[in-house]
Amino acid sequence: MTLPDVTVTVIVFNDAARLPRAVASLRAQTHANIEIVISDDHSTDDTPAVARELAARDHRIRYLRLPENSGGCSAPRNRAIEVARAPYLMFLDSDDELPPRAVESLLAAHREREVDFVMGAVRRVRVDNGRRSVWMPHLVCERRTLDGIEDDPRLLFEHLSTSKMYSRAFLDRHGLRFPEGIHYEDQLFSAQAYCLAKAFTIIPDPVYVWYIEPFAAQSAASISNQRHKISNVRDRVHVQRLIDDFLVESGHGALREDKDYKFLKHDFRMYAGDLPYRDDAWLGEFAQIMNPYLDTLADGAFVRLPRPERVVLQLLRDGRLSDVRPAARGLGHNVAPRHVTADASGAVFWGDAPPSTDLARRELDVRDLELDTRPFTSAQFRHEIIELAPGPGACLDLTIRTFDPGLRLPVGPQRASLLLSPGRRRLTVPFRLDPVRPGVFEGRVRLDLAAAPLPVQGFDGVRHPLLRLSQQGLANSGLLLAPLDFPPVRARVSRRSGLTTHELTVEPEGRNPGRLQIRWRPLTLTAHVIRPLTQRLAHPKLRNAARLAASILK
């Protein structure tokens, strides 16, 4: 019997619905001489029957079932490595796919030059909205072969085991297997592979399709989407400590700052965006787990971070947990702090009082945010809704407080407006912000959602209003932060003589900074007739035919 060139392992647990799609992507590979091992972590749904049926259809498919559930990805991968017959190995999760040329492209790179593994680009697809992106595109944008991870330590950010094809000899030579009994096994496995490899090749070709479900039910969410669990924090920190130990033991201790920067910029940053939504007890446990580990990280890793991220980290390390939430709401969105404090030396610090330690003074110094010197169009303000009440019909009555810590706005009332664009045209609602005290303004505005201009086919989606300030012909637009705990407000809106009907839901955004969020859902004729018709008419073939007819009639 001819041996396969590549063994691709599909790990699965209680995923009977999506397993056929993953396997179909392997059967469609342009390089056909592959072995497909379905490694089942003792599923209790219909997965065994589905897997056996798939194996019956294609002689290249083998079904492997673990005698008991391991609770992770490592054991099913390791058991598949034991039975794999090919000299090259790949791994696929049952909820993802391989592009048609993935095996061909990776294998060709292996055959061009003897390397320990080859890695390629990962396409990310948001399940909720279909948006596509490339994971870490700057790391895989060109073809290159590296003689070790020291050639580009940034690759520590690309810690997926599924984006690579490994030489079986390389894995066996080093006894490299996935660590069992822990989560985030990819991070340790990939760090070890990077450090142990004498050479590896990167190709820009897409080799993996990663489906992202950010709003999956907690019971079905991936490990990365279970950040609400304290055990998840504990697991992630545990793996980081294992990586740190490995770096020292393998003689790669010089990578520690790069690895620590990756942890702060990627791993910690994922938790930081969720901190506004955590209660006091959770934050306390989070600090107890995280702070001892933060104290072990290289100082240079903190210095490489953007200032807002350094502020959140330092507030956490100082135990200022009530301040962590408002600081974290601005991450990545140029949201100003509510208040800053200057000292006699001219330093400007986040918060109401100067820090008491040298480390805190360094980390909480926000002069590099240029709050008082940026051009007005990019100046940082903070706009918060402090009261929200339903008005008549589809109206919202809002009380908004604007914080201007850089004192960019002149004394006196300010011209402001809310901007909302569910269609191509924008609804602009002007109002006035009156001074409360230096650097703080407040105003009231009624937002009539029924007045928002919608396209003829209606609108199905979410929008977040912006607040615009105007000054001497210049405009500055910023996020409008909502209270995080108000109950959703619902209303029904009909336009165009009742033909266009929508249900509106006003709610706080459940993630990121927590903006005011407005959701439109088409109903009746809008949903079942008008939108499907306009979508058919918008088909490229019909548009091209219309253009051709117009040109003939000219």
Reply yes or no on whether the pLDDT at 300 is more than 60. yes
Q: Please tell me whether residues 264 and 383 are part of one structural domain.
A: no
348: number of Cβ within 10 Å? 21
Average pLDDT over residues 442-456: 93
pLDDT band at residue 554 using 50, 70 and 90 as cut-offs: very low
Mean predicted lDDT score pLDDT of the chain: 92
Question: What's the CATH number where 396 sits?
Answer: 2.60.40
Percentage of the chain exceeding pLDDT 70: 92
DSSP string, 26-64: HHT-SS--EEEEEEE---SSSHHHHHHHHHHH-TTEEEE
What is the Cα 394 distance to its own chain's centre? 32
Does 423 share its domain with 472?
A: yes
Cα(234)–Cα(241) distance, integer angstroms: 11
**Unique residue bearing structure tokens 């009332």:** 413
Same structural domain, 150 and 244: no
> In terms of C-beta density within 10 A (0-12 exposed, 13-18 middle, 19 or more buried), how is residue 95 classed?
buried
DSSP state of 80: H
Domain that holds residue 459: 377-527
Compute the average pLDDT of residues 396-402: 98
Say whether both 204 and 314 belong to one domain.
no
pLDDT at 456: 80
Mapped onto helix, strand or coil, the DSSP state of residue 88 is strand
Structure tokens at 253: 């201790």
Residues 189 and 206 in one domain: yes
Residue 386 domain-assigned (yes or no) = yes
Stretch 202-209: mean pLDDT: 97
Is 381 found in the same domain as 458?
yes
Beta strands 427-437 and 489-495 are unpaired
Q: Is the pLDDT of residue 539 over 80?
A: no
The contacts found for 265-272 with CB under 8 angstroms, 24 or more apart, are 265/157, 265/304, 265/305, 265/309, 266/157, 267/236, 267/240, 268/313, 269/309, 269/331, 270/224, 270/227, 271/227, 271/233, 272/309, 272/312, 272/313, 272/328, 272/331
**What is the structure's pLDDT at 550?**
42
> 341, 369, 397: which is the final residue of a domain?
369
SS3 content of the chain, % helix, strand, coil (to 5): 35, 30, 35
Rounded CA gap, 31 and 27, in Å?
9
Looking at the domain assignment, is residue 85 inside a domain?
yes
145 lies in the same domain as 235: no
Ramachandran angles phi, psi of 72, nearest 5°: -160, -175
- C-alpha span between 97 and 462 (Å, rounded): 28
The pLDDT score that the predictor gives to residue 496 is: 59
Among 283-287, 419-423, 528-532, name the most confident range.
283-287
Output the CA angle 429-432-308, nearest 5 degrees.
90
Q: How many domains does the chain have?
A: 3
| pLDDT tens by residue, 40-86 | 999 999 999 999 999 999 999 999 999 999 999 999 999 999 999 99
Instruction: Please give the average per-residue pLDDT across 470-487, as a whole number.
Output: 94
Mean pLDDT of 315-319: 97
Scored b (16 or more CB within 10 A) or e, 116-128 reads bbbbbbbbebeee
Residue 532 domain flag: no
161 lies in the same domain as 288? no
- What digits encode the pLDDT tens for the residues 207-254? 999 999 875 554 444 555 678 899 999 999 999 999 999 999 999 999
pLDDT tens digits for range 182-199:
889 999 999 999 999 999
Among 187, 216, 245, residue at a domain's last position: 216
Residue 317 has pLDDT above 50, yes or no: yes
Dump pLDDT digits (tens) for 152-183.
999 999 999 999 999 999 999 999 999 998 88
pLDDT tens, residue by residue, 413-441: 999 999 999 988 899 999 999 999 999 99
Q: Of the candidates 303, 334, 369, which is a domain's last residue?
A: 369
**What is the 3-class SS of 282-349, one letter each residue?**
HHHHHHHHHHHHHCCCCHHHHHCCCHHHHHHHHHHHCCCHHHHHHHHCCCCCCCCCCCEEECCCCCEE
Residue 129: pLDDT band by 50, 70, 90 thresholds? confident
Pairing of strands 34-40, 61-65: parallel
Tokens representing residue 172 in the block: 């066996």
Residue 298 inside a domain? The answer is yes
- State pLDDT tens for residues 540-550: 554 555 455 44
In a domain, 121, yes or no: yes
Rounded to whole angstroms, the Cα distance separating 353 from 348 reads 10
pLDDT at 455: 86
Query: What is the structure's pLDDT at 457?
Result: 82
pLDDT number for residue 497 = 57
3-state secondary structure of 159: coil
Question: Do 51 and 181 share a domain, yes or no?
Answer: yes
* Same domain membership, residue 479 and residue 349: no
